[in-house]
């Protein structure tokens, strides 16, 4: 077990720069997710950590030691692939045993038939067999050890791939979208199992995914990547409640955050659709900005509320209801989350007024950076000054 | 069926054209020389007893032998004794044509030795080809290195060079190193098969990269990946290549004929056929066809056994 640190890593494929100086420290035993849209460089970063790809510049340290120039095989990391990448010609047991056999037995001992007769090989093989059985036990695949990967379901293959990764107690586990080939139900179940496995092994996990739900539910910290950079790396609730940039706010959270254009008046007061709000930006100066409102920050309110529109579409999930509202005076829709008790008030086409929790409103400047110096004023004046 | 009759007709015609020589070969190997000459006797011939003139001639007794045999035929003249010995010989040398052809095939020339040579040569060629082609194909399919496309271009180019064009320089080369009339001369020039490299490369392209990365993470070096991961997944393609390679070199007449000059111990089966090439008294078609039948049988049996895998290999789908 060991921590990882990534120091200013860049990667160029020909002309295109895939990673533009990524730095990240991962503590021993931490579960960090790299999350971002496809093409953001997260898989490339994982492959660079693994040693499957060389960085153009920068350094990777595992347990404080630089691994520059080390082969993937010598880095003592294990990896779970999206396609599971099991050896099709080997049984499940043999698949799980491969990393141990490659490391513990020398090349003569690995020879078929003859190898078993060499001194030490028998004891080693017994040892390996025991560890394979243990790993299989932990993942509840002990009854599958003699099958070939071709005879297994997706979920079972996924467990075998996990077994092959954890059988040899590596410095860290690298997981490259391991759940994306599973069906939705199995994905939810396996998500919990992987998180549990992480707690039980207390090992370092680096988990790559494009699914922000996976990242939110499993990780200690989430590193949101976009365009070859890490935009923010923080615990899930911080990334959700207190994003540094508008891209992060938009990527994390489902349904997506509502972004409304606001004006900043000379004195720093925010103006939404020509209505002044009771929010002030400390630093004054005219300009435009974006107001981010999560669906749960919005609530139904009386006609004096700042936002008006009518119901366009409803998605009833049983425990909650998501309502899309077309705004009056703005070619945009908002998503509102309400509890089931308010279902009746929201018939299709009905007019609604919305207010929002001031402390949950997120303000971003025109370049997308977060503006944090927002304070609530006593009350909104009736007229624009 | 009714609409497709013409397809079947064409296929049947094709089959007849392909099968006809085999039919003749097998049929001739059953028949007596007379039946072959006259073109009668159907497929199996009449299988009447025939006398092997050569066998009889060999037993024509000399004067000493007649003298030695005299006690067995008391009171008879030498001429009578000779006639009786000859009659015995004719009785002993009479046999069914099929027996005659096949015994002759194995006794006239050391056919077993030739078959063994054939097995040795084709097996060594195939093994060497695999040893060279698998790592080469792996590198061309999965490793990134400077000039890879150029190297692959060269491989394709080499596919276009006919063997006969380079036979003479090759022969001279082997002769200069003093390798003519050795097994090496039969094997070494074929140890690199560009077709094998090409075929395996195309197959390896279909193997997912993740599998190779997984093997690297599991601690395998590149050569371990070739032999422990790529080889087992490539068995169907390898079988297809094996058929191409073995058939080509088992049946090859041209190259052994060039580099094996005189030493009959090195003859491969097709060279063995030459032993029955007609001398002064015409060709021994029966035994010759019997030899040919014996030579092609192993290939046909091997193909029938591997037929399913062979077709899998040709369609080239590695991982499903």
Confidence of residue B221 (pLDDT cuts 50, 70, 90): confident
| Angle in degrees, CA B208, B210, B215, rounded to 5 | 110
Tens of pLDDT, residue by residue over B35-86, are 888 878 788 877 777 777 777 777 777 778 777 877 777 777 778 888 888 8
Give every CB contact of residue A361 below 8 A, 6+ residues apart in sequence. A279, A291, A292, A293, A297, A374
Q: What is the mean pLDDT of chain A?
A: 87
* Number of helices followed by number of strands (H, E) in chain B: 18, 2
Look at residue B281 in the predicted model and tell me its pLDDT. Answer: 58
CB contacts < 8 A (A, B): 62
Q: Cβ(A363)–Cβ(A291) under 8 Å?
A: yes
Residue pointed to by tokens 């998605």: A315
Q: Judge if ipTM > 0.95.
A: no
Q: To the nearest whole percent, how much of chain B has pLDDT over 90?
A: 38
Spatial separation of the C-alpha atoms in residues A25 and B6, rounded to whole Å: 73
* B319 vs A contacts (CB less than 8 Å): 88
Tens of pLDDT, residue by residue over A267-285, are 788 888 878 888 888 776 7
Confidence of residue A92 (pLDDT cuts 50, 70, 90): very high
Whether residues A85 and B319 touch (CB distance < 8 A) is answered with no
The shortest C-alpha distance from A142 to chain B (Å) reads 21
Q: Cβ(A152)–Cβ(A90) under 8 Å?
A: no
Tens of pLDDT, residue by residue over A127-173, are 888 989 988 888 888 899 999 998 898 889 999 999 999 888 888 99
The shortest C-alpha distance from B216 to chain A (Å) reads 6
* B229 vs A contacts (CB less than 8 Å): 87
Q: Cβ(A363)–Cβ(A281) under 8 Å?
A: yes
Confidence of residue A347 (pLDDT cuts 50, 70, 90): confident
The domains located in chain A, with CATH, are 4-249 (3.40.50.300), 256-376 (2.40.50.100)
Spatial separation of the C-alpha atoms in residues A159 and A154, rounded to whole Å: 9
Confidence of residue B315 (pLDDT cuts 50, 70, 90): low
Q: Which residue has the higher pLDDT, B112 or A268?
A: B112
The shortest C-alpha distance from B228 to chain A (Å) reads 9
Q: Cβ(A233)–Cβ(A221) under 8 Å?
A: yes
SS3 track for A146-207: CCCHHHCCHHHHHHHHHHHHHCCCCCEEEEECCCCCCCHHHHHHHHHHHHHHHHHHCCEEEE
Q: Cβ(A228)–Cβ(A20) under 8 Å?
A: yes
Look at residue B213 in the predicted model and tell me its pLDDT. Answer: 93
Rounded to the nearest 10°, the torsion over CA B32, B291, B261, B116 is: -150
The domains located in chain B, with CATH, are 24-108 (no CATH), 111-315 (1.10.3720.10)
Look at residue A257 in the predicted model and tell me its pLDDT. Answer: 92
Tens of pLDDT, residue by residue over B167-207, are 999 999 999 999 888 999 999 999 999 999 999 999 999 99
Which of B213, B221, B232 is opposite residue A81, by nearest beta carbon?
B213
Confidence of residue B32 (pLDDT cuts 50, 70, 90): confident
Look at residue A357 in the predicted model and tell me its pLDDT. Answer: 87
DSSP structural state of residue B72: G
Q: Which of these, A157, A171, A180, lies nearest to A95 by C-alpha position? A: A157
Give the residue-averaged pLDDT of A70-99: 90
Spatial separation of the C-alpha atoms in residues B22 and B43, rounded to whole Å: 12
Rounded to the nearest 10°, the torsion over CA B74, B79, B82, B83 is: -100
The shortest C-alpha distance from A100 to chain B (Å) reads 8
Which of A73, A81, A85 is opposite residue B219, by nearest beta carbon?
A73
Paired sense of beta strands A172-176 and A77-80, if any: parallel
């Amino acid at each position: 077990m060991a921590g990882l640190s990534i120091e200013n890593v860049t990667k160029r494929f020909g002309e295109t720069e895939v990673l533009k100086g990524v730095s990240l420290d991962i503590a021993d035993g931490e579960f960090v997710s790299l999350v971002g849209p496809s093409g953001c460089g997260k898989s490339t970063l994982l492959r660079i950590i693994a040693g499957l790809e060389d960085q153009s510049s920068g350094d990777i340290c595992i347990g404080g030691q630089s691994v520059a120039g080390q082969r993937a095989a010598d880095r003592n990391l294990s990896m779970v692939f999206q396609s599971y990448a099991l050896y099709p010609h080997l049984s499940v047991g043999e698949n799980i045993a491969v990393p141990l056999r490659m490391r513990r037995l020398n090349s003569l001992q690995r020879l078929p038939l003859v190898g078993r007769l060499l001194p030490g090989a028998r004891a080693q093989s017994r040892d390996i067999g025991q560890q394979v059985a243990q790993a299989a036990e932990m993942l509840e695949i002990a009854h599958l050890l003699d099958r070939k990967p071709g005879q297994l379901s997706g979920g079972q293959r996924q467990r075998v791939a996990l077994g092959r990764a954890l059988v040899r107690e590596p410095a860290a586990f690298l997981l490259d979208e391991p759940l994306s080939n599973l069906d939705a139900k199995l994905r939810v179940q396996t998500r919990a199992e992987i998180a549990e496995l992480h707690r039980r092994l207390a090992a370092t996990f680096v988990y790559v995914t494009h699914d922000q739900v996976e990242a939110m539910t499993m990780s200690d910290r989430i590193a949101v990547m976009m365009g070859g950079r890490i935009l923010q790396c923080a615990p899930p609730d911080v990334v959700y409640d207190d994003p540094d940039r508008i891209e992060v706010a938009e990527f994390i959270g489902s349904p997506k955050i509502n972004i409304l254009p606001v004006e900043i008046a000379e004195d720093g007061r925010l103006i939404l659709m020509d209505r002044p709000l009771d929010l002030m930006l400390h630093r004054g100066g005219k300009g435009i900005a974006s107001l981010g409102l999560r669906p749960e920050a919005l609530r139904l309110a009386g006609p004096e509320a700042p936002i008006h529109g009518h119901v366009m579409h409803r998605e009833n999930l049983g425990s909650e209801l998501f309502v899309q509202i077309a705004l009056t005076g703005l070619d945009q829709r908002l998503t509102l989350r309400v509890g089931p008790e308010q279902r009746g008030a929201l018939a299709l086409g009905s007019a609604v007024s919305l207010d929002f929790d001031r402390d949950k409103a997120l303000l971003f400047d025109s370049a997308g950076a977060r503006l944090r110096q927002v304070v609530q004023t006593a009350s909104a004046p009736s007229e624009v000054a | 069926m009714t609409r497709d009759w013409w397809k079947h007709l064409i296929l049947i015609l094709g089959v007849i054209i392909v099968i006809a020589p085999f039919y003749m070969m097998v049929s001739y190997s059953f028949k007596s020389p007379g039946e072959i000459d006259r073109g009668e006797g159907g497929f199996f011939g009449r299988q009447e007893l025939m006398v092997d003139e050569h066998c009889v001639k060999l037993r024509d007794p000399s004067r000493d032998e007649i003298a030695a045999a005299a006690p067995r035929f008391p009171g008879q003249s030498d001429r009578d004794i000779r006639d009786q010995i000859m009659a015995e010989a004719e009785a002993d040398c009479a046999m069914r044509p099929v027996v005659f052809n096949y015994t002759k095939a194995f006794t006239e020339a050391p056919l077993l030795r030739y078959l063994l040579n054939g097995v040795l040569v084709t097996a060594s060629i195939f093994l060497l080809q695999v040893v060279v082609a698998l790592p080469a194909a792996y590198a061309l399919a999965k490793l990134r290195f400077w000039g890879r496309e150029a190297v692959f271009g060269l491989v394709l180019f080499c596919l276009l060079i006919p063997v006969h064009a380079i036979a003479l320089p090759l022969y001279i080369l082997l002769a200069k190193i003093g390798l003519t009339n050795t097994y090496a001369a039969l094997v070494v020039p074929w140890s690199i098969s560009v077709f094998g490299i090409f075929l395996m490369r195309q197959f390896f392209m279909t193997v997912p990269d993740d599998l190779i990365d997984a093997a690297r993470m599991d601690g395998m070096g590149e050569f371990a990946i070739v032999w422990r991961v790529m080889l087992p997944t490539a068995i169907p393609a390898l079988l297809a290549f094996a058929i191409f390679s073995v058939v080509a070199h088992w049946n090859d007449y041209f190259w052994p004929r060039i580099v094996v000059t005189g030493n009959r111990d090195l003859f491969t089966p097709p060279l063995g056929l030459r032993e029955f090439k007609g001398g002064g008294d015409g060709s021994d078609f029966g035994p010759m066809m019997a030899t040919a039948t014996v030579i092609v049988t192993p290939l046909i049996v091997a193909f029938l056994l591997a037929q399913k895998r062979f077709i899998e290999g040709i369609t080239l789908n590695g991982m499903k």
